């Protein structure tokens, strides 16, 4: 009996990838690249505020290299992070060539440090929360409640969760039934281009995109698709220089104008 057990354990040991103590290559239990970075940051044994991001980038890249050497399949997330860190490292090495579009290497490093601190803070907070006096474990309710009125004559024992669950179940049931795919009743891009083209050169003033929608829209969904198609059509035509588009603020109204008319007026 004992022998058998020994043998089993032995086999198990051989099959399982061996864990390295400090630099854990086993992916199990890790939740994404940020989690790994936080673990690696702990290896530096410094306060996260004094973390060397440069060093951390190295640690991470080594970790990825090691994982690949062991033929561990890394999800795309991990590789994207590796590429980004490699880029950050190179930026940190080369003295500032500030371009306006991109944040500086220092800003990027600071942003990463911030994210790590924030995650660490939430992790600690979660642990502290679990260490509090927990109802049912350290603190108790009345064991034998008595029931009297709550003044409302009737109350219902139903929660928002129950309601959502019922709706979810209902909708799931729907899926089990036959799915009829109806013919599309959306307003197509071709239709939008054709319609917009008919206005070409006839838009002297800045005019709201919405005014170009056809009048016979059937319902909300149809309307929505018309807006999307008309917008896309306008972009398409703007690219060809046939109209001009203006939007004064993010998510503000979109206006269209014929390009040549402005020159005349």
Partner 1 sequence: MNDESLEHKRLVEAVLFASKEPLGEKKLSNYFQEGVDVKSLLKELQEEYAGKGVNLIRLGNAWAFRTAPDIAEHLSEHRENVKTLSRAAIETLAICAYHQPVTRAEIEEIRGVSLSKGTLDVLFEAGWIKPRGRRRTPGRPMTWGTTVSFLDQFGLEKIDDLPGIEELKSAGLLDARPAINAYSVRGEMELPFVHPEQDQDEDDLPEPLLEE
Window 37-56: residues binding partner 1 (CB under 8 A): none
How far out from the chain centre does Cα 179 lie?
Answer: 30
Q: What are phi and psi of 99, to 5 degrees?
A: -110, 155
Q: Which of 213, 237, 243, 256 binds partner 1 (CB under 8 A)?
A: 213
CB nearer to partner 1: give 23 or 86.
Answer: 86
Determine which residue in the list 153, 183, 240, 263 makes contact with partner 1, applying CB under 8 A: 153
- DSSP 3-state of 143: coil
Pick between residue 109 and residue 203 the one whose CB is nearest to partner 1.
109
Number of shown-chain residues binding partner 1 (CB under 8 A): 93
Interaction between residue 140 and partner 1 (CB under 8 A): yes
**Residues 128, 130: Cα–Cα separation, whole Å:** 5
Among 162, 194, 205, 262, binds partner 1 (CB under 8 A): 162
CB of 28 to partner 1, least distance (A): 13
- Tokens coding 59: 């640690």
User: Which residue carries 């502290």 as its tokens?
Assistant: 128
Closest approach, Cβ 180 to partner 1, in A, equals 10
Could you tell me the two tokens for 137?
């474990």
Residues 2-41 as x/- pattern, contact with partner 1 by CB under 8 A: -----------------------------xxxxx------
For the chain, the distance separating the N- and C-terminal CA atoms, rounded to the nearest angstrom, is 99
- Nearer to partner 1 (CB atom), residue 4 or residue 129: 129
Q: Which stretch binds partner 1 (CB under 8 A): 8-16, 163-171, 194-202, 239-247?
A: 163-171
Residue 102, exposed/middle/buried by CB under 10 A (0-12, 13-18, 19+)? Answer: exposed
Q: Which stretch binds partner 1 (CB under 8 A): 6-14, 18-26, 220-228, 235-243?
A: 220-228
What stretch of H or E contains 76?
Answer: helix 76-93
Least distance from C-beta 188 to partner 1, angstroms?
14
Could you say which residues in the range 183-212 bind partner 1, by CB under 8 A? 186, 208, 210
Kindly identify the residues of this chain, within the stretch 66-125, that bind partner 1 according to CB under 8 A. Answer: 77, 80-81, 84, 87, 102-103, 108, 111-112, 114-115, 117-119, 121-125
d(CA 255, CA 115) in angstroms, rounded, equals 39
Strands in 254-257's sheet, in edge-to-edge order, are 207-208, 254-257, 244-247
Structure tokens at 88: 């950050």
Structure-token pair, residue 5: 């057990």
């Amino acid at each position: 009996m004992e022998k058998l057990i020994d043998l089993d354990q032995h086999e198990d040991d051989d099959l399982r990838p061996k864990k390295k103590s400090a630099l854990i290559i086993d992916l199990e239990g890790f939740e994404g690249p940020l989690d790994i970075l936080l673990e690696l940051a702990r290896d530096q044994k410094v306060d996260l505020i004094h973390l060397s991001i440069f060093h951390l980038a190295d640690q991470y890249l080594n970790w990825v290299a090691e994982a690949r050497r062991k033929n561990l399949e890394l999800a795309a997330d991990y590789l994207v992070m590796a590429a980004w860190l490699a880029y950050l490292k190179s930026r940190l090495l080369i003295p500032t060539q500030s371009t306006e579009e991109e944040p500086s290497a220092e800003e990027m490093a600071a942003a990463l440090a911030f994210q790590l601190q924030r995650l660490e803070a939430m992790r600690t907070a979660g642990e502290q929360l679990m260490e509090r006096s927990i109802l049912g474990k350290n603190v108790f309710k009345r064991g034998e409640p008595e029931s009297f009125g709550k003044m409302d004559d009737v109350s219902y024992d139903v929660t928002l969760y129950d309601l959502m669950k019922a709706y979810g179940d209902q909708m799931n049931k729907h899926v089990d039934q036959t799915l009829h795919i109806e013919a599309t009743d959306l307003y197509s891009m071709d239709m939008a281009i054709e319609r917009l083209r008919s206005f070409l050169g006839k838009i002297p003033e800045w005019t709201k995109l919405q005014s170009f929608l056809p009048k016979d829209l059937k319902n909300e969904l149809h309307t929505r698709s018309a807006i999307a198609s008309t917008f896309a059509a306008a972009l398409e035509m703007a690219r060809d220089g046939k109209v001009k588009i203006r939007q004064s603020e993010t998510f503000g109204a979109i206006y269209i104008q014929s390009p040549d008319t402005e020159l005349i007026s």
